[in-house]
Amino acid sequence: MFAPEAICFDLGGTLLIEERYDLAAGLGALLEEGLLPLAAGADGAEFERAIARARDAGAELRLRDWLRGSSSEAVADASLERAEETIWRAGVRFHPAPGAHDLLDELAAEQLPMAIVSNGVFGGRTLAGELERHGMRRPFPCIVSSADAGRRKPDPAPFERALRRLRVPAARSWFVGDSFAADVAGAAALGLAAVWIHPAGAAPPPGPVPHARVSSLEELLGLYLESRRARR
């Protein structure tokens, strides 16, 4: 593996481990708190159907757009931001993957440009807040959500948005993720070096061969340090 000039990471399943992801519960908490005047029928089931319709059409639903369209009144952007944060706090829970802090500390010390590229209906600001809660926000000047890009990985749009903001070509960048279909295939198709983080012993499915495979973030750090030594 070449020494990268930038590294992009998936979020859930890669740097953070999901404990809970219950959008219906989050929406229920929003309704209980009465933060938004949602129209009748704008419940968790309809929200899930709206997500499915968007993805069937090859797009990604943006939670704030759905909340705005489902409100019975005009809603200010600040209210939508608070509503999204409420849904996240009530329905979503993550903890850092083993080795995440050590990895990010090392890469940040190297001043390596880094980005998050994540699939989901929540915007990048909400993802940034979650990283902040775990003390992992500072290394990432760029956080791209598929909700903001309008397309989900493996579509090139989220990857391209991150690379433009980092100002590093795909051919000189790594992408690290746990999803073979979304992360490995999407990154490889765009020309990034795809690093698949997956438990040892699991065979990759048919498709693009990842440039490298690691079973942990500790192993990823070793791969990066080895690439730096080889360059020197």
Structure tokens at 188: 């490889």
**In Å, how far from its chain's centre is CA 103?**
17
What is the residue type of 39?
A: A
pLDDT at residue number 232: 62
| 24 pLDDT tier (thresholds 50, 70, 90) | confident
Domain residue extents for the chain: 6-18+96-231, 20-92
Q: Which residue do the tokens 């915007």 mark? A: 123
The reported pLDDT for the residue numbered 201 is 67
Question: Among residues of the chain, what percentage have pLDDT more than 90?
Answer: 77
| Residue 4 confidence (pLDDT) above 70 | yes
Per-residue pLDDT, 1: 87
CA 68 distance to own-chain centroid: 23
Kindly indicate the confidence band of residue 20, based on its pLDDT and cuts at 50, 70 and 90.
very high
User: Three-class SS of residue 222?
Assistant: helix
Answer whether residue 209 shows pLDDT above 80: no
Q: Are 82 and 35 in contact (CB under 8 A)?
A: yes
State the pLDDT at residue 39.
86
Question: What gap in Å lies between CA 21 and CA 55, rounded to an integer?
Answer: 18
Domain formed by 6-18+96-231, architecture: 3-Layer(aba) Sandwich (3.40)
Cα–Cα distance measured from residue 37 to residue 72, given in angstroms and rounded to the nearest whole number: 6
How many residues are there in the chain? Answer: 232
